[in-house]
Each structure stands twice: as C-alpha cells, then as structure tokens.
Structure 1
Amino acid sequence: MSATANPSETHAATTPLLRVEDLTVELGHGVAARRVLRSVSFDIPRGSTLALVGESGSGKTTLARTLVGVHRPSSGRILVDGAPLRPARGRAGAATVQMIPQDPYSSFDPRRTVAQSLAEALDPVRARVGPARARIAELLGQVSLDPDGMDRYPHEFSGGQRQRLAIARALAPGPRFVIADEITSALDLTTQAEILNLLADLRRRLSLTMLFISHDLAVVRHVSDSVAVLLHGDLVELGPTGATFAEPSHPYTAQLLASVPGDPRFRLDEEPATV
C-alpha cells in the first residue's frame, strides 16, 4: 500500500519561502513621485540564497526596505509561504524578516551594551537582559564571539566583530527570511572572507533563506544559488548563479561580469560602457 503525501508537506516542498509578484514601488508624492521598482518578480526557495546585484540607484535597497516594511508597494504582492507578508508589528512581525545592515556601528545604540541590544531584539516589549543571558550567550557563540563580551559596548568591538553582532541581532527573533544588505562592502578582504564563511556556516546549520544584496559579483558567485540583476528599477536577469555567470542573457549583466577580475571577460585595458 503506497503512502499518501501529507498536503502540508507537499505545500512546503513546492511553495517558495518568499515570492515577489509584479512589485512596483514609487517614492515621493505628487509631482515629486518617482518609480523606483517596476513589476519585479522572483522566488526564493526555502534554504536558498538569491543575490541581488546592480549599480547604485538600481533599486536594490528600496527592494530590501520594502520587504521589511519601510516602504509600501504601489502594486504587486509579497508572499511568505504563500501568505501575504504583513507589516512588522512587535515580536511576531519582526520574526518574519530581518535585515543585516551595511553599517552595523550606526545601527547600534552606543549607549546600550551588546546584551541590551540583543535582549531588545529577542523581546522588543520587555527587553530584559537577565532572563535572556543564556540565549544571548548562545547567539554570540553562533557568530564566533566570546559571550563574556555581552556587557561591552559596540565601540569596543572591531568592524568585523560589529558585523558579527549585527548578524546575531538579526538571528535573535528566529526570522524565516534574512536580508544581507552590502554587509561586506566596508570590510577588508580578510574580514570579508571570514564573514562570508560565517554566513555559509549559518546557512547550513540554520537552513537560512536569504536575499544577499551586493555590487560585488566575485562575492555573489561565492555565496548565492541564484542571481537577480536590477537596472534602473527593472529586473533584467534572473537565473542560477553558475548559468548566469557562464552565459548572461542581458548585455548589462555581461558588462558587470566584465568588471570582475578573474572572469574571462575581464579586461584591464578597457573601461565598461556607461549605462
């Protein structure tokens, strides 16, 4: 007698964790309004990483801020496990999507200890350190930081350590989806590699689903399963990372790849065309 598939298991296996459908975002009002994203659609299966690339002003950060509820879509839908994503409200909303910022130092309150900041991420209403010390120690251990440092302040940590703290804070509420927004751009190459290896390890251990925003295609090739390319608010390329790097379908993607040292298209004696 054959087993019958559980409908909930079938749904989980076939429904992407995140689905963005025809997302359009306009910022500003009246005559000052401008369309930043136009009919953007993509899926991110659970446990996978989609890299979002494009030049400054392409709409990458606007997309990220829309996913965490800072901006409201003008049209289109954002679905998590097939259900519309609701604006974050308190602890339950924060547990759905979390963002790791580009500049962790400015995102931490310098008057609060690491323990106080992580306690607030764990429980925004009460934010009590005492009952949360064991969980805070666990979070710091997950990002390879000494739990004994939880009573120190952000300025007492190096840039790479602060980025690890930001990752720990993002993981604190147990999010279903994580956005990493240019998180290695301000770090030296050695520290970049350490943070990327940490993300790879966390992804394996925690089955993280991630949107990785970057302008660095060498990094993208290292961390992502698939890649999406934005150009002036339009999604011009979407596909598996290996196939996209080997045979891009859009001239702009080919131009970006031509600027990556080590890529066969890279030319030191030739400036990429301006788009």
Structure 2
Amino acid sequence: MSDTPESAPVLRITGLDVDLGSGLRTARVLTQVNLDVARGSAVGVVGESGSGKSTLAKTIIGLHRATAGSIVYDGTDLTTVRRKALQPLRRRLQYIPQDPFSSLDPRRTIGQTLAEAIDPVHARLRRHRERIVDALAAVTLGEDTVDRYPHEFSGGQRQRIAIARALVVDPEVIIADEITSALDVSTQAEVLRLLARLRADLGITMLFISHNLAVVEELCDHVMVLLHGRVVEAGPTAEVFSDPQDPYTRTLLESVPGGPAFDVTAPLLTAPVRTLSPR
C-alpha cells in the first residue's frame, strides 16, 4: 500500500552512498543507507566513531554530496533539486553541531547571530528581537543573552544557544549531531531534557546522532545502527534494545552502563519551555 500525504515519512533516505576525498584518496563512507523518519518522531542513529553517523547528518543538510541514492524531504529529493529551490527547504531542516563554539561568530552578539539565522541578507536585530527573545526563553536563557558574546557562556549554555538558533527559523526537523558528547553529565542531562520537552511542546521531528545508547533509549522512538557506513540493524528502539539481532548491536548494548541516562519527566533547572511567538 502506498503512502498517503499524512502517513508518508517527512524524511526518506533510499540507497544512499557517500564518497569523501578525491582521486586515490576517495573512500566510501556510507553504503546503501535506507532510513524513514516519521513526522513528529525522534530517530536515533548510533555507532562507534567512524561509523558514518556525522557524514549522514551532513549529507542530509548538503555539506556533503551524495554519490548515489536519494534524500527525499517532504516530497522533494534534496540530491537533485536546484540550489535556489533548496534554500527554503534547508531552513526547515536545521542542524545542531557537536561544537557550538566553533559555529558561533565570536565577533557577533548572540542576538546578531540569531537575527542572521532568521534573515541572512538583512539581519536586523531590532526587527526580530521579540522572536529571538522567545527562542532563547524556549531554551531557558534570559533576555540579557541577546547582547552578550559566545565567550561569555559555558559549554552547556552555548549548546542551548545553538538549539535556539535552530528553533528561531521554525524548523520541522532538527538534526542533532553528538550535541552532548563534550558536556559534563549534569549539563548533558539538562540539554537532553530540554530536547525532549521541545519535541513534546513544539512537535518537532528529530534525528539524534549519538554514540550513547543509553541516551537514545530514553529520547528516541526508533533507532538505526551503523557499522562502517552500513546499516546493520534498525527498528523501534524498545525492540532493538530488548532483542538485538546483530552481533555488533549486542556489543554496543553490552557496553552501556546500567541505569537511564536521564529522566525526560524531570523538571528543567530553570524556566519551562515557552511556545515561540509568530513572526
């Protein structure tokens, strides 16, 4: 039975191959990757370093080119559409990097950075200030954040700023690439609770890239396991974690320490998430 518009995945990846490098240094990093992401779901992509997780994320948003296969977002193949038509689609697919400090311009205030995300051509802070303040409030940061610079914040605060920058353009899908790997345990838990709350409150679809299976178990509905750029197992998180079929998945699960990574029902340490004001 074919998909209806309501049931079709918001993101469908089919037969994706990705080669990186050039000439004799070219290497295949992803091989025949297939993935469906349902609207409103959270899908975890797990695997050890070098498995191709971040390459997958960066290919979806266009930082790497697909060698073969398709990446269909909301009915449009991102691998074939012209660049001009791609820009509005990519704004709805927001990427949050592992290291937010390197992605924040040290010469710009946080408000200027978020204004540029809203309107890259005419980044007018005064015009967009209310929406920027709402986006920062949604990640539990105060209005004083607007006029400060990246170096004035902790790692966890900068990660929340990166999340706010993604939220401020009304994304449909957020791709979070190992965003808690450099944070201490308590800050990691706070950021993860925030993501869970944003998904519940704003209905955002999430692709969560991580090597931490305990986190994926708490946050994600479905999981895909990558090994050397190939999918070795995929399915509902509860099923894969309770009855893994691939030896590699079993090895990953055996390395997970006991106990959940965080409690999605625990309160945030600061203000509750607010719904963003309309533009």
TM-score normalised by length of structure 2: 0.88
1:15-43 deviation digits (Å, cap 9, x = unpaired)? 00000000000112222211100000010
* Alignment partners' CA distance in 2, 1:191 and 1:197: 10
Alignment check: 8 A CA contact 1:68 1:87 kept:
no
Q: 1:179 aligns with which of 175, 179, 184?
A: 175
Shift of 1:66: 0.3
> For the residues of structure 2 that align with 1:110 and 1:31, how far apart are their CA atoms?
37
Amino acid at match of 2:108: R
Q: Residue 259 of structure 1: which of 255, 261, 264 is its match?
A: 255
Alignment of 1:97-246 (within 5 A): 97-246=93-242
1:245, 1:254 → 2: CA distance?
A: 8
Pair 1:224–1:17, CA change in 2 (3 A): same
- In structure 2, what is the equivalent of residue 33 of structure 1? 26
Report the Cα distance in structure 2 between the residues aligned to 1:224 and 1:87, rounded to whole angstroms.
Answer: 32
Query: Shift in Å at residue 95 of structure 1?
Result: 1.6
Among the aligned pairs, what percent are the same residue? Answer: 56
Identify unmatched segments of 5+ residues in structure 1. 1-9, 264-275
- How far 1:183 moved relative to its partner? 0.6
Q: If the length of structure 1 is used for normalisation, what is the TM-score?
A: 0.89
Higher CA-based Rg: 1
Whole-angstrom distance in 2 between the partners of 1:133 and 1:77: 38
Where in structure 2 are the equivalents of 1:30-109 lying within 5 Å? 30-85=23-78, 86=81, 89=84, 92-109=88-105
Amino acid corresponding to residue 100 of structure 1 in structure 2: I
RMSD: 1.5
Deviations 1:92-123 (A, max 9, x none): 24322111111111110000000000000011
**Which one is further off, 89-98 or 128-137?**
89-98
Q: Give the Cα separation in 1 of the matches to 2:114 and 2:74.
A: 27
- Indicate conservation of the 8 Å contact 1:94/1:173, yes or no: no
SS in 2 for 1:256: helix
Instruction: Note the C-alpha offset of 1:175.
Output: 1.7
Letter in 2 for 1:202: L
Deviates more, 1:143-152 or 1:37-46: 143-152
